[in-house]
Amino acid sequence: MSLRKITKRSLTEQIVDQLEQLIETGEWPLGSKIPPEPELMGQLEVSRNTLREAIKALTHAGLLKTRQGDGTYVSASSSLGPVLQKRVNRTDYIQSLEVRHALEREAAYLAANNRTDSDIEQIRLCFECQNEAIQNGQYEDFADWDVAFHKAIVAASKNGLLMDLYEHITDALKEMVTKITAKTGDAYYSKDTHEQLLNAIVEQDQVRAVDAVHHYIEESKQHFIQFGGSMNEIN
């Protein structure tokens, strides 16, 4: 086996690593404005051009977003997020549902065992709010609360990696569902199966929790096939 010559890392790469760490650790929270160029240049002791190259790299990776005349903001909590979102956007809706099935099934199984009383309160709140929104025909609010409901279950799993993976695909999946709703004029929602999931987690019944996830994913598939057609029709 031949070995390659070890090369020194560029200043830009070192800056990218440092700034990315600030984002991933939450020191620069999602949505926050990063410090101005002169301040960063002084702390890092680098030139404006070098700093701008690093900012450009992080912007291209989807972690930062520059607003003309305003500044640069954190747009993702890790480089994984933009990559997953782009991949989901290129994926058939049925396949996306299958990935949701895998993640939410495991989350439900773990949540039924690991949930706390505060987790139950949050899940129940989201459940009640999404019901109210759908009854009032507030589809955008419903979508927000539905995402919050499933995120609360994933959080109750207490699995950090699962939480990160789910967090990074939900925006893309929500966008896809919004397109389908606009196409069909209908927001699909099964209150019964979502309530079954909630009750199973409350009662720490892992088998019923997994079964509830299976049912609402299958119901979503059938609804899409009946009313949504194919992703080519939705895009």
For 42-89, what is each residue's pLDDT tens digit? 999 999 999 999 999 999 888 899 988 889 999 877 766 666 767 766
Cβ within 8 Å of residue 61, ≥6 positions away: 79, 82
Task: Name which of 65, 83, 67 is nearest 75 in CA terms.
Answer: 65
Q: What is the rounded CA–CA span in Å between residue 140 and residue 36?
A: 35
User: What φ, ψ does residue 64 adopt, rounded to 5°?
Assistant: -125, 155
N- to C-terminal Cα separation, the chain: 48
Average predicted confidence (pLDDT) for the chain? 84
For 7-38, what is each residue's pLDDT tens digit? 567 889 889 999 998 988 889 988 899 999 99
Residue 149 near residue 130 (C-beta atoms within 8 A) = yes
Q: For the chain, give the longest Cα–Cα distance.
A: 67
At 191 the pLDDT is 85
To which H or E segment does residue 1 belong?
none
Task: Name which of 166, 175, 178 is nearest 213 in CA terms.
Answer: 166
| pLDDT at residue 117 tops 60 | yes
Residue 227 near residue 221 (C-beta atoms within 8 A) = no
Domains in the chain, ordered, with CATH?
Answer: 11-74 (1.10.10.10), 81-234 (1.20.120.530)
At 205 the pLDDT is 97
At 73 the pLDDT is 94
